Structure 1
Amino acid sequence: MKRSINQVGVIGLGKVGELVAGLLTDAGFKVSGYDAQARPGLRFETTELDVTDEHALREALRGVDAVVSCLPYDKNIEVAEAAASVGCHYFDLTEDVPTTQRVVELAQQHPGVAFVPQCGLAPGLIGIVGASLAKGFDTIRSIELKVGALPQNPTGLLGYAFNWSAEGVVNEYLNDCEVLRSGRRQMVPAMEEKERVVIGGIELEAALTSGGLGTMCQTYEGRVQRLDYKTMRYPGHFEQMHFLFDELGLRERREEVGRILVEAKPPVNDDIVYLHAAVEGVKNGMPFRENHVRGYLPITLTDAEGNDRTWRAISWTTAASAVAVVELVADGKLPQEGFVRQEDIALEDLYATTSGRRFADYGKIA
């Protein structure tokens, strides 16, 4: 079947963006990569681009059928507006609520193209998993979604490494969280409602954090009694973060805190991404709880030229999820226009894509 998307622009060629572009190439798309700095030697065409240059951004997007923004969350709106103005499909990895609200507006104002934000892990893959589990239930009492991107070999009281954006992590910890309680949407403080989680014999703790549900609260309001998203960390982590933000009074100094944390806990290559989704309710007429638990490790990928490269778990899981969604739109498995919610994506369809099948092949907990 002929694809509706053939050429894809990827803006932001950091660790995730470079892999997004590579996986798109492996999936049969022609890729144009854009970054603020020259990136020679990659296996797809690259061009320097200043995304604050409105004219240059729009001209770059005129030459592609779709764009995947892999930029920091505060740059995505500019790309989304440019995509809307030239009529190309838009995808991003954001967890930022105001960004997604603007993307929804653009989808309403510009028919004919698809707007698919929140294509990462949380929001993104974890919502796809949770919604797919929920479809098998007669009635649903609760949907509990959790993700933890962690070092395999933690040290210190924090037990953490900043393999993801420090600014994003700090925002997750400090911004209020949207949840469903008694079937209604509510905003509650982050880093609360801590609980113990054990995955494959590894003890973790989980607490509410913001942004991970995307649009799910709106989708399930009135249909599900309880819905929330929590981030998983090693035990004691959230106590230390409360000390940092509250006792030291650093809640209003987010940028400074981000710098301190990255210097104290820099990235590591030996990471692991845990996914834990659980749905409770009535299934086939009986009370039931269904769990989907995975632990994704770094993997070595071989490109079309036979070159091997090992990618961190956080990088490949985020990139593969995003590229799988692009494939689904391109192949007509998802709507070709309007706002597309992650919870409308079937997990079995994602597993059937070139990139998404890695989630089916890897990560099962013994």
Structure 2
Amino acid sequence: MQTIAILGLGKVGALAGELLHDSGFAVHGFDAAPRGDLPFDVAALDVADDAALRAALGDADAVLSCLPYFLNIAVAQAAHDLGLHYFDLTEDVPTTKAILDMAPTAQALMAPQCGLAPGFVGIVGAHLIGQFDTCRSCRMRVGALPQNPTGLMGYSFNWSPEGVVNEYLNDCEVLEDGEIKWVSPMEWVEKIVIGGIELEAFTTSGGLGTMCETYRESVPNMDYKTMRYPGHVQLMNFFFHELLMRDRRAEAGEILVNAKPPVDDDIVYIHVAAEGEIAGQMQRREFVRGLMPLKIAGKMRTAIAWTTASSVVAVIEMVRDGALPQRGFLKQEDIALDALLATRTGAHYNA
């Protein structure tokens, strides 16, 4: 694997392309609105045009989709049919299940959910679970937030509005007492304090990826929640349910981004905790971080951009180097945390 096509050149896609370029890959970027400020070739592409999409991917060994989730199934199908490795950042459960169905007949690797959550957080969760003789619970929380929140919502839309709305409205898969269950989003609210900063966490969709199925026989309790500043979830429930914006998802995203546009000074909080027995003693293991913007390739990158891009590029490096399977479906929980952090790009998480 040497030549990679990247679809979607927003903050995350552009940075992923730069990181891949610096790691020795031949990168070809595609976007609806091409840009000329990147160190690799960029061309215009309408991904809704299947013939044009497949022609654009013809010279690649792999494709990385940094597109909104609803475009990924068609891209994955094209990659499958062309025998290309496929990577994406999706949090959407139906999209991932569709890709999982393609995997048995794939001639290359199908690897969705390679971002931050799902993605890196699942790798961390699996790392903690592996430290126990028996593990009774694993709780994974992630929050991408402004460092200096304003207003009652305390939020800025540094991530895809389509993805955020999707996470807030779709049902959430959990493990409870050994059973896979589906629960409502924006529920199970809890308080978390990281470095003296009080946060609230609540259920959102997609963050666990495939982990419930993987651990249903060994970890009886597992869930994923998004973290925000206190009061956020009450306002979002009012917005989506009392004002019925749940029925107008596209418009909801536009309203929210217009009200709370992106900021450069963000922070990504990660809080993963597992509990279980080690040598007969009940213990708890935690991975807690507050990750700030980082200077990469001479530019300051937002925390959400570099954490997401670094995770997927580190996985791609591991596939190239033979440290991960070359075909079939890749579960994030099958990726070793120490090996990912030892890659050129994964090492950013050690900063």
Shared fold, TM over 0.5: yes
Which of 226, 230, 238 is the matching residue for 2:225?
Answer: 230
Take 1:202 and 1:77, find their aligned partners in 2: how far apart are those partners? 39
Instruction: Report the equivalent of 1:297.
Output: 292
Instruction: Report the equivalent of 1:191.
Output: 186
Instruction: Report the equivalent of 2:330.
Output: 340
Take 2:237 and 2:103, find their aligned partners in 1: how far apart are those partners? 39
What is the 5 A alignment of 1:1-366?
Answer: 5-110=1-106, 112-302=107-297, 308-359=298-349, 361-362=350-351
- Any idea what the Cα deviations from partners look like across 1:251-274, whole Å, max 9, x if unmatched? 212122111111111110000000
Take 2:193 and 2:86, find their aligned partners in 1: how far apart are those partners? 37
Deviation at 1:168, TM superposition (A): 1.2
Deviation at 1:136, TM superposition (A): 1.0
Gaps of 5+ in 1: 303-307
Deviation at 1:44, TM superposition (A): 0.5
Take 2:279 and 2:195, find their aligned partners in 1: how far apart are those partners? 28
Take 1:246 and 1:50, find their aligned partners in 2: how far apart are those partners? 34
- Any idea what the Cα deviations from partners look like across 1:286-343, whole Å, max 9, x if unmatched? 10010000111011112xxxxx111110001000000000011111111000000000
Query: What is the TM-score of this pair, normalised by structure 2?
Result: 0.98
Take 2:203 and 2:48, find their aligned partners in 1: how far apart are those partners? 34
Query: What is the TM-score of this pair, normalised by structure 1?
Result: 0.94
- Any idea what the Cα deviations from partners look like across 1:273-294, whole Å, max 9, x if unmatched? 0011000011232100100001
Gaps of 5+ in 2: none
Take 1:87 and 1:249, find their aligned partners in 2: how far apart are those partners? 43
Take 1:119 and 1:42, find their aligned partners in 2: how far apart are those partners? 23
Task: Report the residue type matching 1:312 in the other structure.
Answer: T
Give the SS at the match of 1:62.
coil
Aligned length: 351
Take 1:185 and 1:201, find their aligned partners in 2: how far apart are those partners? 34
Deviation at 1:109, TM superposition (A): 2.0
Take 1:177 and 1:328, find their aligned partners in 2: how far apart are those partners? 30
Same amino acid, percent of matched pairs? 58
Detail structure 1 runs of 4+ shifted over 6 Å in the superposition. Answer: none
Deviation at 1:219, TM superposition (A): 0.5
Deviation at 1:50, TM superposition (A): 1.4
Task: Report the residue type matching 2:60 in the other structure.
Answer: V
Give the SS at the match of 1:43.
coil
Deviation at 1:356, TM superposition (A): 0.2
Deviation at 1:247, TM superposition (A): 2.3
Take 1:67 and 1:79, find their aligned partners in 2: how far apart are those partners? 8
Instruction: Report the equivalent of 1:305.
Output: none
- Contact residue 62 and residue 88 of structure 1 kept, 8 A: no
- Any idea what the Cα deviations from partners look like across 1:65-91, whole Å, max 9, x if unmatched? 111001110111111111111111000
Deviation at 1:105, TM superposition (A): 1.4
Take 2:243 and 2:46, find their aligned partners in 1: how far apart are those partners? 38
Give the SS at the match of 2:272.
strand
Distance 1:57 1:249, change over 3 A: closer
